Each structure stands twice: as C-alpha cells, then as structure tokens.
Amino acid sequence: MAELKSSKLDAENAKNEYNLFKSSLAQIGTIIVQNVIMLGFGMSLAIPTVVIGSLMSDDDDGGGSGDIMTLTETEASWYGSVLLVCHPTGGLLSGVLQEIVGRKWCMALVSVPQLVGWYVLWRAGNAFDLYVSCVALGLSMGLSEAPVLTYVGETVEPRLRGPLSSVSTFTIMLGSFVAYLMSTVMPWRTVAMINMAVPVVSFAAVVLLTPESPVWLLSRNRPAEAKKSLAYLRGCVSTVDVEDEFSELSIYAGFNKSVDLEQYVDCGIDQRRLSYVKYLQINTNDTTNAEIDILANQNQTGFLDTLKSFWTPELTRPFLFIMLFFFFWSFATFIPAKPYLIAVFSEIGLPCTAQWTLVYTSILTLVGTLLNVLTVARFGKRPITLVSMALCAFSMLGIGMYMVSTSYFSFSSTWIPMILLNALFFFSGYGVFPIPWMLVSEIYPTKGRGIASGLTAALAFLMTFILTKSFLEMQEWFTLPGLFIVYGSITLIGTLYLYACMPETENKTLQDIEHFFIGDLDDYEDCDNLK
C-alpha cells in the first residue's frame, strides 16, 4: 500500500515537472519569437556609427554606390542624434496604440516604419535622405520597446520574468554586433539592403506565432480569449489547468467572476468596484440595468481616465524613480558617444584599428548581456546594477586620467585604455543597459501601464538625444579626457542614488512591487514568505 502511494506521488511529481517544463518552454519560445523585433532595433541603433564612420573617412566610396557622399560635422551630429529624437515620438505613440490595438498588433506595426527606414537608407543620395531614414528607424524603435516590455511583464511568470526581460537587451546588442560585423566586410548600403529582411521576418513571427496578452484581452472584456491565450503561454494546456492563475490574473487586472469579494482586498478600491460591476454584469440576473449603469459610470476606464490615473502615487513614484535611473544610465553606458565611437577610439590610441575595436567591444557588450540573462535570477537586479555601475564609473574615470597623464608624461601603454574600455562595455552590457528596461516591465500597475511605459521610453531617449546631439560640443568644452571624467563622476553619483532608492524586484510578483512604490513596505518585505 505504501509503495502504491509512493509510486502515485512520484508520478504526480513527474507530471508537475513536465508541466513546468512545458510552461517554461512556451514562455521562452514566445518571448524569443517576438524579440526578432529587437534585432532590428539593435541594427537601427548601430547604423549611424557605421555610416558616420564611413562618410567622414578619407576612403569612402559612397557606400558602394559609386557616388561620393560626405558629411560635415554638423550634419553628422544631426544624423547621429535624429534617430533618438524620433524614438520618443514612437514611444508616446506606442503607449496609445498598445491600449487600442493590443500588445501583439502594436509589435507587428513596428515592421512598417523599419522597412521604410532601411529602404530609404539603401537608396540615400544626400544628408536629407539619411535624416529621413533615421526618422523612420527611430519611430520603429520607439514603437517596439514599450509593447515588448509590457508583454513580458503581463505574460511571464515571476520565476522567468527577470531572465526573459533581459532577452530584449541581449537581442538589441546582438543586432548591433551583427551590423558592426557586416560593416567590416561590406559597404553600408549593402548592410541596409540586407537589413530590410528583418522587419519582414519579425512581422510574420509576431502575427503567426505570438498570442495576445491575456491582461489586455481582459481589459477589453474578452475573458474567453484571455483564458485561451494564458493556456497557450503555459504550454498549450487546457483552459481548466490555468483556472486558478486566470482567477488571480482577473483580480489583478480588475476583472473577476468570483463571488468572494474578499479576494479583492489587495486590488485597490477603484479596481474592486470595477471588478464588482463586471461581476454583476456577468453573473447577476436580479440587479437592474440602471443599478449597473450607475456603478459603471462611476468607474469608467477610458483613455482620459487612464491619463488621470497617471497622477496617482502608484504611477508617479515608479515613474520618477525610473526616469532618474535613465538619466544616470545615459552616462554609465556611454551611449551618447555611440555615433562617434570610431573617432573616439582613434583619439584614445588603441592597439588595434577603431573599426575592429567597435566589433570587439560589441562582442563584450553582447557577452555581458547574455551573462545577465543567465545570472539575474540568481543574484538579483539590485546587486548586479550597483556593482556594474560602480565599475563603469571607475573605467571611465581611469580612461580620462590615463589620457590626461599621457599629455604630461612620456609614459604610454595602449593596452591600459583597451582593458578599461573592455571593462566599460562589458559591465554596461551586464548590469547597466538591460536593468532599467527590465524594471519598466515590472514597476507600473496594470492601469496605465501601457501609457506609462511608452512615456518612460520616450523621455529616456529624449534625454539621450540631447546628450548625443551635444556630445561634440561638450567634447570641445571639456576635451575627450575631461568628458570621460565628467561621465564617470556622474555615473558614480548615480551608483549612490541607486544604492539608496532601488528596490529588488527579482522573484517578486507585480503586486509586491506595487506595494513597495505606494509605501506598503510591510507587504513588500513579507512577500518572500508568499508562495
């Protein structure tokens, strides 16, 4: 008898492990498929560096077209930064679009401006054409970020959310690396022509292989479709198997069919009322339509109401935190220098050519991002961020001091700045570049998440645009060594800020994270005991 019970228990455990594996595989597969979009993002981010480096060199052949193109320093600064100023427009547009058409179709629409951008760049004949291509590519970048991050936050289980959130950053770095690598063996026009295939593939992948977010479907009063989507994301299981999780998701999203209203205690008063209205509409025959209409009119969740909800502590507190994080992020990643990296590497004086240094550093960034995917669940976001920010700061300070010392002393070793550059790009990829984007998918509550994430992405890249556009002017004021010291000092201040204010979100539910930002620290600290 005991042996029979033991065998049944073993069979049950094996079944649970198999279901867990299927669920993980389905979520990982879905996120990888949709992140083909971010491959184009990374290529778009890298192409100004490739084009500027080619057009401002003495041996450019017009990108392989036979016509000679050149860029002045002013044109180069605009071309290098217009990509980033158009990104916020796309980010704001995505915040609205993903609430109207859904996360899935917002991601699919990214392919349209991206395809236009690559085509215009391929056929470009002057600086204006380059600007137009960057406008289209910048819009596609802005359109992609918020829905991808929101989708991860709404569909992935807490145990996988950290690693899968960082897949986006890894794919961006992979796209940049591929673009840099192609530029070493082919003209930039050919790179643009080949890249036209990426939006076509990503559109097909998203439309055919990605289900809509269950949370968005619930917000549109489509519970049957939401349950099917959740069942697909948990390993193509039966809808009966996801009943418990669907019930919890319904409560969090403000849509529940349960009679036990005590379950709503953690959802907030407005969410509870709205859920109760929907419960009445579905499950009650006795309540009059007039009574339901009165309750519903008190709890409209239209676009204007979503905008009003943005000024609640649940949204403003995480918004202010993440925007300060992005301010320091812009300096720590050295991203404002990205379009001018070939010239920067040449001025530093390195043991290899600037073009190949670009490839090496992109490999290190890619490896760092991959390591983040593999270790973030084990070590947590907070310690990884603090260590990486500090090391990025010391690397930039070291490069600046080295360059200053070589102008006063005869001592010089090209391997010292090379090692420091390697450390800068590796740790920026490991614990700086991906972390705030991962947090964007976690820190905002369901109501207003789409608009908040879109606005966050827009303002983050608006800051980056300002810093990128002014980089050459700042270099004239401070000199390149001085600029490294300024960037390193600001990054060090950012490390102290994050030490004081950054919560640990790894292995926390979205509700637990929300408790932290509204000041309910007891519930946040006790969440480790929740199963």
Residues spanned by the domain of 284: 215-307
Residues 230, 325: one domain?
no
- End of a domain among 278, 307, 336? 307
Residues 473, 363: one domain?
yes
What confidence category does residue 136 fall into, taking pLDDT thresholds of 50, 70 and 90?
very high
pLDDT at 160: 82
- End of a domain among 263, 282, 307? 307
**Pairwise pLDDT comparison (59 vs 37), residue with the higher score:** 37
What percentage of the chain has pLDDT greater than the value 90? 31
Q: Are 211 and 104 in contact (CB under 8 A)?
A: yes
Provide CB contacts within 8 A for 280, sequence distance 6+.
287, 291, 292, 295
Residues 462, 506: one domain?
yes
Residue 394 in tokens: 């010391």
Closest to 167 measured CA to CA, from 382, 388, 441: 441
pLDDT at 465: 86
pLDDT at 485: 96
| Angle subtended at Cα 119 by Cα 166 and Cα 36, rounded to the nearest 5 degrees | 20
pLDDT tens digits, one per residue of 392-418: 999 999 999 999 988 887 777 888 999
Q: What is the mean pLDDT of the chain?
A: 79
Provide CB contacts within 8 A for 313, sequence distance 6+.
517, 518, 519
pLDDT tens digits, one per residue of 423-463: 999 999 999 988 998 888 778 876 777 778 778 877 887 89
- 287 within domain boundaries: yes
Pick from 147-151, 182-186, 250-254 the range whose average pLDDT is largest.
Answer: 182-186
Measured CA to CA in angstroms, residue 417 lies from 180, 342, 360, 472 at distances of: 21, 15, 14, 21
Instruction: Say whether pLDDT at 184 is over 90.
Output: no
- 142 within domain boundaries: yes
- 479 within domain boundaries: yes
Provide CB contacts within 8 A for 46, sequence distance 6+.
175, 176, 179, 180, 338, 362
- End of a domain among 265, 288, 307? 307
Residues 402, 348: one domain?
yes
Q: What is the 3-state secondary structure (H, E, C) of 197-238?
A: HHHHHHHHHHHHHCCCCHHHHHHCCCHHHHHHHHHHHCCCCC
pLDDT at 291: 37
Total domain count, the chain = 2
Residues 227, 204: one domain?
no
Provide the sign of the torsion angle of the four alpha carbons 439, 445, 447, 448, taken in this order.
negative
Rounded CA separation 127/124 (Å):
8
**Pairwise pLDDT comparison (270 vs 196), residue with the higher score:** 196
Rounded CA separation 330/487 (Å):
9
Residues 256, 168: one domain?
no
For residue 27, the domain's CATH number is 1.20.1250.20
* Arithmetic mean of pLDDT, 222-246: 86
**Pairwise pLDDT comparison (412 vs 524), residue with the higher score:** 412
Name which of 222-226, 264-268, 479-483 the model is least confident about.
264-268
- Tell me the one-letter amino acid at 329: W
Instruction: Say whether pLDDT at 295 is over 60.
Output: no
User: In the block, which residue shows the tokens 């455990």?
Assistant: 13
Instruction: Say whether pLDDT at 153 is over 90.
Output: no
* 339: Cα within 13 Å, side-chain hemisphere: 29
Residues 75, 145: one domain?
yes
pLDDT at 24: 86
How many secondary structure helices (H) and strands (E) does the chain include? 25, 0
What percentage of the chain has pLDDT greater than the value 70? 79
pLDDT at 277: 34
Provide CB contacts within 8 A for 380, sequence distance 6+.
504, 506, 507
Residues 320, 374: one domain?
yes
pTM above 0.75, yes or no: no
Instruction: Say whether pLDDT at 140 is over 70.
Output: yes
Residues 274, 337: one domain?
no
* Arithmetic mean of pLDDT, 205-212: 90
Residues 176, 313: one domain?
yes
Rounded CA Rg of the chain: 25
- 12 within domain boundaries: no
Instruction: Say whether pLDDT at 90 is over 90.
Output: no
Rounded CA separation 41/202 (Å):
11
- Tell me the one-letter amino acid at 15: K
* Arithmetic mean of pLDDT, 84-98: 81
Residues 99, 247: one domain?
no
Rounded CA separation 318/370 (Å):
27
Instruction: Say whether pLDDT at 335 is over 60.
Output: yes
* Arithmetic mean of pLDDT, 358-382: 89
Rounded CA separation 418/408 (Å):
20
- Other Cβ atoms within 10 Å of 238 Cβ, number: 9
